[in-house]
Amino acid sequence: MAISFISNAQKLTEGTWFNEEKTSRVQFYMDGDKLSCKIVWLKEPNENGKPRLDAKNPKASLATKPLMGLVFLKGFEKEDENTWEEGTIYDPRNGKTYSCTITEVSTEKLEVRGYIGFSLLGRTSHLIRATR
């Protein structure tokens, strides 16, 4: 079981992934035994000549932090061969955090579902592998 866990995590943590709009690239990494993900590239990294900030963050101390390097998916635990659960997704567009699951649809595509309460009440987006 441990070998399966490691090989699945390695598949996700190898390389980078585009968001659907291809306006950002993200990278997964293991934070202890939990899976997390951070922004590593932005199509438009600057705004008014300065790095884009997490301006919608409800915590004033974080609203002045750059989006580059922002950890927006965190705390995921392995559920089965292709699914990670019990994590959260932070949406910098509105400053809100949601419960989340990640499902590996294929080696090149991930389904990320953010929701409040029940997973039926939420939104799904996809990440497409950018590099290995």
pLDDT tens-digit series, residues 14-36: 899 999 999 999 999 999 999 99
User: What does pTM read for this prediction?
Assistant: 0.89
Helix (H) or strand (E) holding 3: helix 2-13
Query: How crowded is residue 87: how many other Cβ atoms within 10 Å of its Cβ?
Result: 21
Neighbours of 90 (CB within 10 A): 20
| Structural tokens at position 118 | 């029940």
Asked if residue 111 lies in contact with residue 102, where contact means CB atoms within 8 angstroms, the answer is: yes
Percent of the chain at pLDDT > 90 equals: 83
Number of other residues whose CB lies within 10 A of the CB of residue 10:
11
Residue 1 has pLDDT above 70, yes or no: no
Lowest mean pLDDT among 10-24, 42-56, 68-82: 10-24
Task: Please name each of the domains of the chain with its CATH number.
Answer: 2-131 (2.40.128.520)
pLDDT at 3 over 90: no
Q: How far is CA 26 from CA 47, 120, 123, in A?
A: 20, 25, 19
* Consecutive H or E run containing 10: helix 2-13
Q: How far apart are CA 102 and CA 96, in angstroms?
A: 18
Residues 114-121 have a mean pLDDT of 84
- Quick one: pLDDT band at residue 6, thresholds 50, 70, 90? very low
Q: What is the mean pLDDT of the chain?
A: 91
Residue 47 has pLDDT above 60, yes or no: yes
pLDDT band at 7 (very low <50, low <70, confident <90, very high): low
CB-based contact 16:40 (threshold 8 Å): yes
Residue 66 has pLDDT above 90, yes or no: yes
